[in-house]
């Protein structure tokens, strides 16, 4: 099988919705990364996501909906603070973990009694959700453990032979995944830093949500090896290290040194947007090592540092 690469037209969105309703898999763009979508009410279709990605069975998926109101149908009691967050940040890069309603097949949340849900901020994703008329379970459209795709080409290259269609919506605007926030504890906790910062959340919550420790097991996804290119990633701050043959470098505050692969990103936002593509480029060039400057640890820099540390094989 080879996926049909569809333009983001009304006609292809209708076609993609029909594929999804029939139990097929369609990758689609969001503002964060490309998602691999399946009908969130079909255990069978969702099962195929796990197969295609080689995803560990204990790693739950995010449900995507077109409007905040739809969470009443898939979640149990929703805390008032969670509604406020939805109102403030949706559509957007914030995923809320809530109690799961019976109606949602257990496989979506890997058997947990919670679900993760968000409204993506992308016209194609929203149009697809409206046309399909059901929640779409959608992890990032990469093989498990690999960098998330931020273009339709990334998806085609990696899993194009195993799914029905990919809708091409161009490059993703944010480039790294959504913030996952656990709303089932008294004080909400960040399970995965992402496109919405803790500071922004604190403006609604009235307190700064902490980052859950990995040992607590609240976010199974962060336990598994993640976001790894094939080349070794070496992180640095301050003055750039020496770049040898077969190595590359990415800088943010420092001028790009002379090297066969040397990129200076313009800002933390630009860094996030290009991060996974830089990983893929480094691999395509067969680089042995990529030196990467760590961004300052605030706003989007928190999520960026998280992904960089994981790529380097270190935890927070």
Residues that bind Mg ion (CB under 5 A): 140
Rounded CA-CA distance 305/289 in Å is 18
Which residue lies nearest ligand TXA, judged by its C-beta?
221
- Kindly report the number of other CB atoms within 10 A of residue 225's CB atom: 10
CA-based diameter of the chain, in Å? 58
Rounded CA-CA distance 36/46 in Å is 10
Is residue 139 a contact residue for ligand TXA (CB under 6 A)?
Answer: yes
Among 65, 94, 116, 303, binds ligand TXA (CB under 6 A): 116
Among 3, 26, 62, 304, binds ligand TXA (CB under 6 A): 62
Closest by CA position to 36, among listed 17, 127, 8, 46: 46
The residue whose two tokens read 């969105």 is 13
Is residue 60 a contact residue for ligand TXA (CB under 6 A)?
Answer: yes
Sheet architecture: strand order including 247-251 = 232-236, 289-293, 247-251, 261-264
- Closest contact distance (angstroms) between CB of 31 and ligand TXA is 8
**Stretch of 17-25, 56-64, 160-168, 197-205 lying at the interface with ligand TXA (CB under 6 A):** 56-64
Closest to ligand TXA by CB, 42 or 59: 59
- Closest contact distance (angstroms) between CB of 159 and Mg ion is 12
β-strand pairing of 114-118 with 35-39: unpaired
Closest to Mg ion by CB, 89 or 276: 276
The interface with ligand TXA within residues 15-34 (CB under 6 A) comprises 30, 32-33
Closest by CA position to 202, among listed 48, 84, 40, 284: 84
Cα 112 to chain centroid distance, Å, stands at: 20
Closest to ligand TXA by CB, 58 or 260: 58
**Residues in contact with ligand TXA by the rule CB under 6 A:** 30, 32-33, 35, 59-62, 95, 97, 109, 112, 114-116, 120, 138-140, 177-178, 180, 191-192, 218-222
């Amino acid at each position: 099988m080879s996926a049909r690469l569809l333009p983001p037209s009304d006609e292809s969105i209708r076609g993609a919705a029909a594929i999804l309703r029939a139990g097929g898999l369609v990758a689609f763009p969001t503002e964060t990364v490309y998602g691999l979508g399946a009908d969130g009410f079909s255990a069978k279709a969702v099962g195929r996501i796990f197969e295609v990605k080689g995803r560990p069975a204990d790693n739950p998926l995010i449900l995507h909906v077109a409007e905040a109101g739809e969470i009443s149908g898939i979640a149990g009691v929703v805390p008032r603070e969670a509604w406020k967050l939805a109102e403030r940040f949706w559509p957007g890069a914030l995923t809320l973990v809530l109690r799961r309603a019976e109606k949602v097949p257990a496989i979506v949340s890997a058997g947990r009694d919670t679900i993760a849900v968000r409204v993506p901020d992308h016209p194609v994703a929203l149009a697809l959700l409206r046309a399909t008329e059901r929640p779409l379970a959608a992890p990032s459209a990469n093989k498990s453990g690999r960098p998330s795709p931020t273009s339709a080409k990334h998806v085609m290259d990696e899993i194009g032979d195993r799914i029905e269609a990919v809708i091409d919506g161009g490059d993703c605007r944010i480039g790294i995944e959504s913030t996952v926030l656990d709303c089932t504890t008294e004080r909400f906790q960040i399970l995965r830093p992402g496109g919405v910062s803790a500071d922004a959340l604190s403006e609604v919550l009235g307190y700064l949500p902490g980052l859950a420790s990995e040992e607590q097991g609240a976010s199974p996804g962060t336990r598994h090896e993640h976001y790894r290119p094939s080349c070794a990633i070496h992180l640095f701050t301050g003055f750039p290290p020496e770049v040898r043959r077969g190595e590359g470098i990415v800088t943010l505050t420092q001028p790009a040194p002379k090297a066969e692969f040397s990129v200076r990103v313009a800002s933390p936002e630009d860094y996030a947007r290009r991060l996974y593509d830089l990983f893929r480029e480094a691999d395509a060039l067969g680089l042995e090592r990529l030196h990467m400057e760590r961004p300052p640890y605030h706003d989007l820099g928190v999520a960026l540092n998280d992904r960089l540390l994981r790529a380097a094989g270190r935890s927070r």
